Each structure stands twice: as C-alpha cells, then as structure tokens.
Amino acid sequence: MKLKILLLSFLISTTVRAGLVLEPVVGYGSIAQNSYNTAFDGYMNISMTGLSFGGRVGYKNSIVTYGLRGMYSPSLEVEFSADSSSISAATIRDQNNIANIADYSLLQIGPYLKIQSTDMVNVFFGIDVNYAVEVSLNDTTSESDATNVYVGVGINPISKLSLNFELGYVIPEDVVADPDPTVSAMLSASVPIEF
C-alpha cells in the first residue's frame, strides 16, 4: 500500500508541473577550428564569432524539459591566422580580406534535453543535427553542413531568467579519416515561459 501511495504521489507531482515551454534565447557564439590547408601546406586557424537569436520549444515534466532548439546567427565575424611559418602573412591577410567582404551566417536546429538540478542551476545537452554555415560572396552562396553535439549549464539568478554557457564539438558532414577538431561555444540568456 505504501508503494502505491508513493507511486501515486510521484505521478501527481510530475503531472501537475507538466506543460509546454517556450524559451526565447539571445547569445554570443564562437566557432574555432585549426585545420590543415593543403593549398597552403600548413595549419590555418579559423575563428567565427557573432550574435545568435532563436529559442527552444519543448515539453516540461517536473524537472526535465525536452524539445527542439533553433538558433540563427545572421552575420559572423571571421578571422584567419596561422600557426606555421609555411603560410605567409600575405596569404593570411588575403584570406582575411576575402572574409571581410563575404557574408557568413549560421543556422542550427536540433533536439535538446534540460534538467533543472536545483532552483538555481540547470544542465542541458543536445545535438544540432542541422549546423550549417553559409558563405555568400559575389552572388555565389555555399554551405557547409555539420552536426554539433553540445553540453551546457544555466544559472537562474532571478526567477524566469537563465544565464547559459555551452560548449560543443562540431562534426563535419564530410568526415575525413582524421578530422581536425572544431569547437563551438555560446554565452546566452534565455527566458523560459511555461504554458
């Protein structure tokens, strides 16, 4: 009997707090890669940073929220640098000049799971199955597709506000035998609205 009462109280407590959650998010993100460039016979660092807008929509059941996240960075700042002396300063300057006139944007969409571990702290993780960087230059557009696996932590300094930090690992769609690591990071603020 005690087990039935305990199970019933657990079911009631989880269903009372269940519902739809809409969470607008604004943040500042970064993507960093150190890759071997065969054309220049050396390693080149690529850094992309910019504002991101979007949100999460999901279903909350007690302390767990799961759903779909979508973020868009309409304009990324891109910077090239080199670790090796085999890539000249002129080559890096030329790459940065091209980056300055091109338009870079990022779209990321995928499922997420968030666990409210305490009233002040939540942890979350997800997979952006669509992680697409689009480059537009002289009426030509190209897109590189990847998957981003991320984990993060959020702090709730006041009710209905979450300050978040996430760190991710980007896996390119065209995986080579030994891919160079690409890391993503984002600082963001979100406001979960429960219905």
pLDDT in tens, 78-109: 888 876 666 777 877 887 787 777 898 999 99
- CATH number for 26: 2.40.160.20
The more confidently predicted of residues 40 and 62 is 62
User: Does 25 reside within a domain?
Assistant: yes
User: Does 12 reside within a domain?
Assistant: no
User: Does 91 reside within a domain?
Assistant: yes
The more confidently predicted of residues 9 and 63 is 63
pTM (predicted TM-score)? 0.82
Domain extent, residue 30, equals 19-194
- Tokens encoding 4: 């039935």
Domain count, the chain: 1
**pLDDT tens digits, one per residue of 176-188:** 555 577 899 999 9
101 in helix, strand or coil?
A: helix
User: Does 43 reside within a domain?
Assistant: yes
User: Does 4 reside within a domain?
Assistant: no
**pLDDT tens digits, one per residue of 6-55:** 444 444 444 445 799 999 999 999 999 877 777 667 777 889 999 999 99
User: Does 176 reside within a domain?
Assistant: yes
Rounded alpha-carbon distances, angstroms, from residue 92 to 82, 83, 137: 7, 11, 18
